[in-house]
């Protein structure tokens, strides 16, 4: 039994989770591995957040919980302004730590660390940048945080989770009880200021939308 099946007790209207990725940062635009570096939103990222916020607000959330990194926090603030709901911060929703790759461009990682990069791209769940996290570790900490949030939701309530590209897919994987490798192949990318919704059903959680974005937020950017 998984964490989310254990807290699955559909006795009324279904609970919902809306998973939101932060807006574009200057590092996204430059192709830099951010990991847990606190990269600010770019001008385009702020415009994306402004365009996205009323659309997510229309999903009628009761809670907003965000990664404490500023790119997620500032994205969540736009949703807070549109809904009037305060933002709670949880560092467990942070992006994967990319170790020695943080601050390097994708080309620099390719040149300096070709073997590890190739292994990660091939699907091996190794620590990013040697000293960072692997996906299993991100999955564990995100699952713990989201499990607590779901357990506190009343029937019919919705929580918005503002997070990152890799962390967002790990959250979806956990709630939907998908193997990480399967989730990466099936779900695909998660664009800046795009969102996805999972809804509680009679037999567990189901994905009702993935990687939805406002027209101004239609950019993918680098995951980490």
Tens of pLDDT along 134-170? Answer: 999 999 999 999 999 999 999 999 999 999 999 999 9
Round the average pLDDT of the chain to a whole number and report it: 92
Residue 66 three-state SS = strand
82's tokens: 């549109």
Query: Is the whole-model pTM more than 0.75?
Result: yes
Q: Residue 111: is its pLDDT beyond 90?
A: yes
Do residues 191 and 221 touch, judged by C-beta distance below 8 A?
yes
pLDDT value of position 40: 96
* Whether pLDDT at 1 is above 50: no
Q: Residue 12 — very low, low, confident or very high, per pLDDT cuts 50/70/90?
A: confident
Which is nearest to 213 in space by CA: 190, 191, 192, 194? Answer: 194
CB 83 within 8 A of CB 64: yes
Q: What residues act catalytically?
A: 22, 95
- Read off the pLDDT of each residue in 99-105 and give the average, rounded to a whole number: 97
Mean pLDDT confidence for 199-219: 83
Contacts for 132 with CB less than 8 Å, ≥ 6 apart: 35, 96, 97, 98, 99, 100, 101, 102
CB atoms within 10 A of CB 9: 10
Average pLDDT over residues 105-120: 96
- CB-CB contact of 69 with 94 (8 Å): yes
């Amino acid at each position: 039994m998984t964490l989310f099946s254990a807290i699955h007790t559909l006795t009324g209207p279904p609970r919902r989770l809306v998973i939101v990725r932060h807006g574009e940062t200057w590092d996204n635009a430059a192709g830099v591995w951010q990991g847990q570096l606190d990269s600010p939103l770019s001008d385009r990222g702020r415009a994306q957040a402004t365009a996205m916020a009323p659309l997510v607000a229309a999903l009628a959330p009761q809670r907003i919980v965000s990664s404490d990194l500023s790119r997620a926090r500032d994205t969540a603030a736009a949703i807070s302004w549109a809904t009037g709901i305060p933002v709670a911060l949880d560092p467990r929703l942070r992006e994967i730590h990319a170790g020695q790759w943080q601050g390097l461009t994708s080309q620099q990682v390719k040149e300096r660390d070709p073997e590890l990069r190739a292994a990660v791209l091939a699907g091996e769940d190794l620590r990013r940048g040697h000293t960072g996290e692997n996906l299993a570790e991100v999955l564990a900490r995100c699952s713990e945080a989201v499990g607590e949030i779901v357990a506190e939701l009343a029937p019919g309530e919705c929580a918005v989770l503002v997070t990152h590209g890799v962390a967002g897919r790990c959250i979806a994987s956990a709630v939907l009880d998908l193997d990480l490798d399967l989730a990466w192949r099936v779900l695909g990318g998660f664009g800046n200021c795009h969102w996805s919704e999972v809804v509680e059903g009679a037999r567990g959680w189901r994905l009702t939308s993935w990687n939805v974005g406002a027209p101004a937020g239609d950019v993918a950017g680098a995951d980490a």
